[in-house]
Amino acid sequence: MRLSSLFTSKTPVSSAILAIAVFTLSATAQDRTTEQGEAQITDPNQECIGYSYAPMAALAGKFPAVWQPATIVSNDTDAQAKYQSIQSQIPNIQPKGTQPASLGGDFSGFTPTYPSSDPDCWWTYDQCTTPKLAGLPPDLTAVPEPDTLGYGFDDGPNCSHNAFYDYLVEKNQKATMFYIGSNVMNWPLEAQRALADGHEICVHTWSHRYMTSLTNDEVFAEFYYSMSTHVMKAIKMIVGVTPTCWRPPNGDVDDRVRAIAHALGLRTIIWTYDSNDWREGTADITAADIDANYETLITRQQNGTFATEGVIMLTHELNNFTMSEAMKFYDQLKATFKYIVPMGVAANQTQPYVETGYSLPSFDQYINNTTTVSGGASPTAGSAGATGSGTTSSGSATGSSSKGAAQKASFDGLGMLAAGATFVGVALKLLA
């Protein structure tokens, strides 16, 4: 998914303020202090009204600015020490292109001089997934079990995801959620729901930039402030676990970025098949085009394409359209593929986090209906993660399937610019 999809503004701030005025009184009737309370909201517009979450106050000044390329916070001596400790593991590979154009994937001035042999195993250039630098594991691009779909969603947590997550609960389906650190900061209770529902959480970087365009310290910061266990950062601090997996935004990775990820304990996950669901509404791409992409995958499975090795499909928790597409086609996928499993389950990665209080089932356990082995109820921010049974918080699988509500509220209008602005006593986040 291209960076512009995260930041396209469709609704003036004045309209957002009017919407807030309409919904604030009803929002105050909801419990917006716990994951369980937040999960009960069924109106997607109400879900996407910013809220005040008290434990976030302790995080002030400890993170980079949301939705900006991450850099090491000046007074963060732990981050500085960690970065210095991995210096010897970072290869002498230069960033690709020139910022700021390269941050959004414009490498047009760089690729003409890049060697055709692709010495850096640069996915964006040659879709290379087997590192050329010694000591790095290959990217996970498919799942080893035949007739199996690796199921996961990028770009969450989305503020209006309750109807989608309720649907997954109804189907007893777990998935891998690739969370953006800035979204975790903006929507902490939504991030906690993934763990409470038993999904696997992986890192999708701090600001969703093209990673090969960043300097070494920026690459480090994009990972560190999303997941670090050395000192509690976004996913760790808010959800209570430290992921061991990541997916590069836009697939943009090379051996330099892989080396930094590997030094921080992250395995790289790409995909086999792209739904291109995020493209709906851009250029001339319609919902029918995305339907056709899903249908093509189903046809390939029916034709035996994945009879010896399974497939990872790239899909998104980006907005109500992409989540609705997932619900629309789930039953067809379930009827066509023998198994649908999270990435960690597909790879028999039963220890998904650094913390030992949470385990994923093995592939054999999962396909025999043990979809949760052990998990944690959503922790209070700042905790190290609680252990116990994997619980779910669900309401009815209802809610709008309109793309506009989620995209406008999650990425365009409510939640990205001024965290902590107060309106009628409720802290709001507005995007100009």
Confidence band of 230 (pLDDT split at 50, 70, 90): low
- Among candidates 321, 316, 325, 251, which has minimal Cα distance to 292? 325
21 located within any domain: no
For the record, the structure tokens of 213 come out as: 């365009």
69 within some domain = yes
pLDDT of 135 > 80? The answer is: yes
Could you write out the three-class secondary structure of the chain? CCCHHHHCCCCCHHHHHHHHHHHHHHHCCCCCCCHHHHCCCCCHHHHCCCCCCHHHHHHCCCCCCCCCCCCCCCCCHHHHHHHHHCHHHCCCCCCCCCCCHHHHCCCCCCHHHCCCCCCCCCHHHHCCCCCCCCCCCCCECCCCCCCEEECEEEEECCCCCHHHHHHHHHCCCCCEEEECHHHHHHCHHHHHHHHHCCCEEEECCCCCCCHHHCCHHHHHHHHHHHHCCCCCCHHHHHHCCCECEECCHHHCCCHHHHHHHHHCCCEEECCCEECCHHHCCCCCCCHHHHHHHHHHHHHHHHCCCCCCCCEEEEEECCCHHHHHHHHHHHHHHHHHCCEEECHHHHCCCCCCECCCCCECCCHHHHHCCCCCCEECCCCCCCCCCCCECCCCCCCCCCCCCCHHHHHHHHHHHCCCCCCCEEECCEEECCCC
- pLDDT reported for residue 58: 83
Is 16 part of a structural domain of the chain? no
Distance between CA atoms of residues 385 and 382, nearest Å: 9
Question: What pLDDT score was predicted for residue 30?
Answer: 78
pLDDT exceeds 80 at position 160: yes
pLDDT value at residue 60: 82
Asked if the model's pLDDT at residue 396 lies above 50, the reply is no
* Residue 424 or 367, more confident: 367
Residue 261 lies in a domain: yes
Q: Does residue 47 belong to any structural domain of this protein?
A: no
Q: What is the mean pLDDT of residues 330-356?
A: 96
Domain span at 200:
64-400
Cβ(349)–Cβ(380) below 8 Å: no
Q: Is 80 exceeded by the pLDDT of residue 382?
A: no
Whether residue 161 is predicted with pLDDT greater than 90 in this model: the reply is: yes
Lowest-confidence region among 228-237, 239-248, 337-346, 415-424: 415-424
Mean pLDDT of the chain: 84
Q: How many domains does the chain have?
A: 1
Q: Give catalytic residue positions.
A: 154, 316
Q: What's the CATH code of the domain at 144?
A: 3.20.20.370
Average pLDDT of the segment spanning 242-254? 97
Residue 407 lies in a domain: no
Q: Is 43 part of any domain?
A: no
Domain membership of residue 360 (yes or no) is yes
- pTM of the model as a whole: 0.83
**pLDDT tens column, 139-150:** 999 999 999 999
Residue 10 pLDDT > 50: no
